[in-house]
A = this chain, B = another copy of it.
Amino acid sequence: MPAVTPIEIRDEDLALITYDANGLVPAIVQEHGTGEILMMAWMNETTLRRTLEEGRTVFWSRSRQEEWRKGDTSGDRQFVREAHFDCDGDTLLFVVEQEGNGACHTGEFSCFYRAFGPDAGTS
């Protein structure tokens, strides 16, 4: 199992994050080392705090309306190596070590396996 590296929660950091009308902020997940974009999901303040505390990504599932600790069901956990926020504080970026088969529920390693246009194809 990859090392777990919690990130210290600082009030001055959290104060810079803004949430949408549903109390959510989008979180991009990028693979450590390769730079591949794995997925995008949503966090509320509680799951953002849990992600930093536990060093694993924890999201808010909009469809199920519940916390979703990535990999608890699938085994494909994400261990946080870097945690960034953008200039407006309204988007998060986590650089992770991806465990198991990848990030996508389809079995693909990345959720962005499809591309626009005929050359790339819609697999």
Interface residues of A (CB under 8 A from B): 7-10, 12-13, 16, 26, 28, 30, 34-37, 39-40, 52, 82-88, 91, 93, 104-106, 108, 111-118, 120, 122
| Alpha-carbon gap, A40 to B37, bound state (A) | 13
Q: Determine if A7 and B116 form an interchain contact, defined as CB atoms under 8 angstroms apart.
A: yes
Quote the shortest CB–CB distance from A71 to chain B (angstroms).
17
| Alpha-carbon gap, A15 to B82, bound state (A) | 35
Quote the shortest CB–CB distance from A2 to chain B (angstroms).
18
Q: Determine if A114 and B84 form an interchain contact, defined as CB atoms under 8 angstroms apart.
A: yes
Q: Determine if B37 and A30 form an interchain contact, defined as CB atoms under 8 angstroms apart.
A: yes
Quote the shortest CB–CB distance from A37 to chain B (angstroms).
6
| Alpha-carbon gap, A108 to B86, bound state (A) | 11
| Alpha-carbon gap, A16 to B116, bound state (A) | 10
Quote the shortest CB–CB distance from A35 to chain B (angstroms).
3
